[in-house]
Chain A
Amino acid sequence: MNDAPAVELRAITKRFGDLVANDNVDLDVRRGEVHALLGENGAGKTTLMRILYGLSSPDAGLIRVDGRQLEIRSPRDAIAAGIGMVTQHFALVRPMTVAENLALGRVGTLWLDPADVRRRAAEAVERFGIGVNPDAVVGRLSIGQQQRVEILKALARDCRVLILDEPTAVLVPQEVEGLFATLRQLVAQGLSIVFISHKLGEVRAISDRVSVLRRGRHVGTVPGSTPEAELARMMVGRPTFGVVRESAPAGGTAPALEIDGLRVEAPGRRPVLGDVSLRVQAGEIVGVAGVSGNGQTELVEVLTGMRLPSAGSVRIGDVELAGAGPAEVMASGVGRIPEDRHACLVGELSVAYNLVLEHLDEFRRRGALDERRIRSHAEALIERFAIRARPDDRVASLSGGNIQKVLLARVLSREPRVLIVSQPTRGLDVGATEYVRRELLARRTAGTAILLVSEDLDELLALADRVVVMYEGAIVGEMSASDADIDQLGLLMAGRGQVG
């Protein structure tokens, strides 16, 4: 045994195109510690751990395990080096038993003796003290128990460093306590754990040390006992950039969009949306902040007609839209720009067709498509929204910024009364980002009620009049954007702090 850290990452850099996911990141994981990796979505936590587990290769930097420098090209290399990872999506064969799933991870034998499979599984359960029945069928286990099987799988392969990617994201609170008890016990046996999270409370509860990543950079490593406010500032802290906003026009006081008691529930899980109520007035932008996975996606899906809520109401004026399909939602004057802009266009169709797809019946002449008008319509919008494309170009061949402009053009040219916008500038370059933000502000001036969901706090504070924070499917706080306290926002997003 030497005194080197269990894992050392040195100057790891990983780029995806123009985006730097990890920028010169250093990280040490000691033996027998829980080391939390804290950061917002997109901060580069998972990318860094995927590199350590061989799922992704770094552009620069090196990895040492127990002081020895290693090339980790695949998970097989990582496993051989004693590294295990449990991702958010379990790799379990649901119809098989726990013991059989454990046996699947073993290599080197052609013949499996059922008794031996059982015996080994029972031994592993015994040795690591993980409470799960080896004979249980995985598909019938709760999510928390399935997660234990995943952990057991990694441990059975003699892993000494265990990476857990947001392990609590799928768990109910009681299961979280159980998981933490298991982790403490494993650490006491000498295991090192890397715990990826963006929840301050958990990080403080379980970790010995915390490394904070922000926008691909390593901000610092601090003891697990560091105050939450300090961690929140490290995680989100950044100067807000100055945008001159006009005061909200004195539109009607009647809310244009009213959401009441909206719920989305899945059997056996905690509700993804629990009693969300929200009002957006004409000429107002309401921002929804939050780390992704806290119900924003589902909220937008309900509002755009792509998902049935379990309960609650969505009203535009007098029209009830909860449970309505996309066509009805559009017909009541709602424009929709969802987060996955690629999936909401038909990439293999032309720009011109995509621009009319929502309102095909208006471009019909004697039963056939009016190709002339479809084309002139496209030319007009390409001009007005400065889309760098020709009408006949396939949408999939455009850049991200131009794809977003196609979506914007399709929606804004209809002069919507209500706009549902999610992550409108994610992945766009500076120019396109500015363009999109200007268009949204112009719509606000024109009196559109805008609900803006974004993980980018700068964007919310620059565009929104009010900001609400979503955490675990509920709205946990609201503040006016002009006097928003970024530390307070960070605490709310991480599940801490009071309603402001």
Chain B
Amino acid sequence: MTGQAGPMAAVRRSLRPTRWSTPGVAVAAVAITFALTAVPILLAEANPFAAYYEFLVSPLTSDFTRLEVLVGATPILFTGCAVAIAFKAGYWNIGAEGQLLLGAIAAAGIGQVVGDLPPIVALTLMIAGGALAGAAWALLPALLRVRFDIDEVVTTLLLNPVALLLVTGMLNGPWRDPVSGFPESPRIAAVAELPHLIERSRLHLGFLIALVVIGIAWYVLARTPAGLRLRATGLSPHGSRFAGVNVTRVLLGAALVSGAVAGIGGVSEVAGIQFRLTGGLSPGFGYTGIVVAMLGGLWMPGVILAAVFLGDLAVGASSAGRALGIPSQLGAVVQGTLLLVTVGLLALRRNRLARSTTPGTGAAVDSVAADLAQELAVVADPAEPEDQPGTREPGA
């Protein structure tokens, strides 16, 4: 009850997070991760430096693997962007995985029936359908959040395995391949395939679509009233509501757009890589998207850098397996450690700030970190090592 304004003002002045800036956190996280993962690499009887060279540098030494890095980056560009949009609004969407799967189901369904349409119409239909499906999957948790204040971290996360069951159900039921009997959907029509950008490479139009989506997201967030309202809501829901921002609408909008972007990510994988719905379509792209968004500092150019970095790591991890005879799962170990360390550092930064200040003044990324830190155990778990992007062989 005694006036706290004096100390609070002093604390606020000292709050500038320059020394602990987000790019600094990203670099430190990578460095700490490498130090930590040196242990399992040594246990695998390999030289850590040689391993990191394989992980990071060797994918960049040939045209083919350079393009593979971008192929690996494509889905996590979508999910990273999706997660960053939601987190920026203070809506903790952990469900990009499920939203991506719903987008993939929609793409596979539409792709099977558009054979008579021109490619541009077919692709537009698939993308629109995938975006709608992803948004629809994001709708229920968002409504529960704004109506009943039910924690969306839990609900979005729990809907992910449900989405996977839906995929499995489709593949074992109506869509089981009539010829082979495998649990794979029939192949989509040729017009529904995303064209390849470069001869004899798997790099497809989805990569460019991802860049366009991220470009639009960047513009809207940075330059429009809607984007400013979204950022303001994430930074201070109370202050934004006070200033007349319809916080409920912002949260709903961010959740649905986030789901739609993740859904387009599913379309991109179906129409650009797999050409059908498969049970192993996503080895955890949605979860990796969280790493991408956090490592990128919830900043769209940062998301691109982080997605390419993780794509590089994924491709490198699979080739490191062959070159050094170490398990390719080490790539997954590095990625998982990276998420833990990034979130840990951000949580640490927030706690350092929080200890010297009052609640409600922390920066957005830090509150993301603290919320995420609690959920990490669950989030890190579903990313099964053998399903990591890097372990997929080209042309599989």
Contacts of B9 in A (CB 8 A): 17, 399-400, 427
Cβ proximity bits A96-136 to B, threshold 8 Å, 1 near / 0 not: 00000000000000000000000000000000000000000
CB pair A16–B240 under 8 Å, yes or no, is no
Would you list which residues of chain A between 17 and 32 have a CB under 8 Å from chain B?
Answer: 17-19, 21
A360 x B229 contact (CB < 8 A): yes
Residue A327 interfacial (CB < 8 Å): yes
Q: Measured between alpha carbons, how far is A306 from B242 in the docked complex, in Å?
A: 7
Distance in angstroms between the alpha carbons of A427 and B4 in the assembled complex? 8
CB-CB < 8 A to A242: which residues of B? none
A359 CA to B223 CA in the complex, in Å?
A: 16
Question: A149 → chain B, closest Cβ, in Å?
Answer: 23
Interface residue B314 (Cβ < 8 Å from any Cβ of A): no
Question: Is A239 engaged at the interface, CB distance under 8 Å to the other chain?
Answer: no
Distance of A170 from chain B, by nearest CB (Å): 14
Decide yes or no whether B360 CB sits under 8 A from chain A: yes
CB of A53 within 8 Å of the partner chain: no
Whether B235 pairs with A326 at a CB distance below 8 angstroms is: no
A306-B242, A358-B243, A397-B12 are known contacts. Are A364 and B225 too (CB-CB below 8 A)? yes
Q: In the complex the two chains form, is A397's CB within 8 Å of B15's CB?
A: yes
Q: Which B residues are in CB contact (< 8 Å) with A15? A: 6
Within 8 A of A (CB), among B195-227: 219, 223-225
Taking the nearest CB of chain A, how far is it from the CB of B67, in angstroms?
A: 35
A494 to chain B, nearest CB (A): 16
* A residues in contact with B7, CB < 8 Å: 16-17, 19
A347 near B242: Cβ-Cβ < 8 Å: no
- Are A360 and B225 in contact, CB atoms less than 8 angstroms apart? yes
Contacts A338-B242, A397-B16 given: A368-B223 contact, CB under 8 Å?
yes
Given A396-B12, A400-B9; A46-B244 close (CB under 8 Å): no
Q: Mark A326-346, 1 if CB is under 8 A from B, else 0.
A: 110010000010100011111
Q: Encode contact with A along B231-245: 1 for CB under 8 Å, 0 otherwise.
A: 110011011111111
Alpha-carbon separation in the docked complex, A367 to B220 (Å)? 10
Interface string of B1-25 (1 = CB under 8 A from A): 1111111111011011000000000
- Is the CB of B128 closer than 8 A to any CB of chain A? no
Interface residue total, chain B, C-beta cutoff 8 A = 37
Which residues does chain A contribute within 8 Å of B12, judged by CB atoms? Answer: 342, 347, 396-398
B240 & A343 in contact (Cβ 8 Å cutoff): no
Chain A residue nearest in CB terms to B222: A369
Chain A's closest residue to B14 (CB) is: A397
Q: How far is the CB of B216 from chain A (nearest CB, A)?
A: 12
Q: Inside 8 A of B3's CB, which chain A residues have their CB? A: 16, 19, 21, 42, 426-427
Tell me whether chain B's interface is mostly helix, strand or loop, or mixed: helix
Given known contacts A45-B1, A369-B223, A326 and B241 CB-to-CB distance under 8 angstroms: yes
A216 to B223, CA, bound (A): 49
CA distance A348 to B2 in the complex (A): 26
B47 contacts the other chain (CB 8 A): no
How far in angstroms is the closest Cβ of chain A from B114? 32
| B228→A343 contact, CB < 8 A | no
- Cβ contact within 8 Å between A16 and B6: yes
The answer to whether B238 and A344 touch across the interface, beta carbons within 8 angstroms, is yes
B361 near A: Cβ within 8 Å?
A: yes
Q: How many A-B residue pairs have CB under 8 A?
A: 129
A357, closest chain B residue (CB) = B243
Does B356 interact with chain A (Cβ within 8 Å)?
no
Complexed CA–CA distance, A232 and B360 (Å): 36
Q: Is the CB of B242 within 8 A of A19?
A: no
Is residue B363 contacting chain A, with contact meaning CB distance below 8 A? yes
> Chain B contacts of A354 at CB under 8 A?
243
Chain A CB within 8 A of B364 CB:
yes
| Residue of A46, A338, A358, A367 touching B2 (CB-CB under 8 A) | A46
A364 CA / B225 CA spacing, docked (Å)? 7
Complex Cα gap A369–B228 (Å) = 9
Contact A348 B363 (CB under 8 A): yes
Taken together as a complex, chains A and B put the C-alpha atoms of A360 and B245 apart, in Å, by 9
Find out whether the CB atom of B1 lies under 8 angstroms from the CB atom of A41.
Answer: yes
Contact B235 A349 (CB under 8 A): yes
Residues from chain A with a CB closer than 8 A to the CB of B124 are none
**A57 CB-CB contact with B under 8 Å:** no
Q: Could you say which residues of chain A place their CB within 8 Å of the CB of B244?
A: 325-327, 330, 357-358
CA–CA, A327 to B246, complex, Å? 8
Give, as a whole number of angstroms, the nearest-CB distance from A410 to chain B: 8
Considering the complex, give the chain B residue whose CB is closest to the CB of A18: B6
Taken together as a complex, chains A and B put the C-alpha atoms of A292 and B157 apart, in Å, by 43
Tell me, yes or no, whether A353 is within 8 Å of chain B by CB: yes
Expressed in whole angstroms, the Cα–Cα distance for A34 and B245 within the complex equals: 50
Q: What is the minimal beta-carbon distance from A422 to any residue of chain B, in angstroms?
A: 12
The residue on A at minimum CB distance from B224 is A368
Closest Cβ of chain A to B390, distance in Å, is: 36
Min C-beta distance of A427 to chain B, whole Å: 2
Query: CB of A361 within 8 A of chain B?
Result: yes
Q: Are B232 and A357 in contact (CB under 8 A)?
A: yes
- Chain B residue numbers with a CB within 8 Å of A428 are 5
Complex alpha-carbon distance, A44 and B244, angstroms: 36
Q: How far is the CA of A400 from the CA of B3 in the complex (A)?
A: 13
Chain A min CB distance to B351 (Å):
17
Type the 1/0 row for B329-373, where 1 means its CB is closer than 8 Å to any CB of A: 000000000000000000000000000000011011000000000
What 0/1 readout, one digit per residue, does chain A (360-381) give for beta carbons within 8 Å of chain B? 1101100111010000000000
- With A16-B3, A42-B2, A326-B243 known to touch, is A349 a contact of B238 (CB < 8 Å)? no
One of A19, A306, A398 near B5 (C-beta < 8 A): A19
Ranked 10 nearest A-B pairs via Cβ: A427-B5, A17-B6, A327-B244, A19-B6, A16-B7, A357-B243, A400-B9, A47-B2, A360-B225, A21-B2
> What are 24 A-to-B residue pairs whose CB atoms are below 8 Å?
A17-B10, A41-B1, A42-B2, A46-B2, A304-B242, A326-B241, A327-B246, A342-B8, A343-B236, A343-B242, A343-B360, A344-B242, A344-B243, A345-B239, A346-B232, A346-B243, A349-B231, A357-B228, A357-B244, A364-B225, A369-B224, A394-B16, A398-B12, A428-B5
Binding site for A on B (CB under 8 A): 1-10, 12-13, 15-16, 219, 223-225, 228-229, 231-232, 235-236, 238-246, 360-361, 363-364
Interface residues of A (CB under 8 A from B): 15-19, 21, 41-47, 216, 292, 304, 306, 325-327, 330, 336, 338, 342-349, 353-354, 357-358, 360-361, 363-364, 367-369, 371, 394, 396-400, 426-428
Beyond A42-B3, A326-B243, A342-B12, 14 additional pairs, beta carbon < 8 A: A17-B7, A21-B3, A46-B1, A46-B2, A325-B244, A342-B360, A348-B236, A348-B363, A353-B232, A357-B228, A367-B224, A394-B16, A398-B12, A428-B5
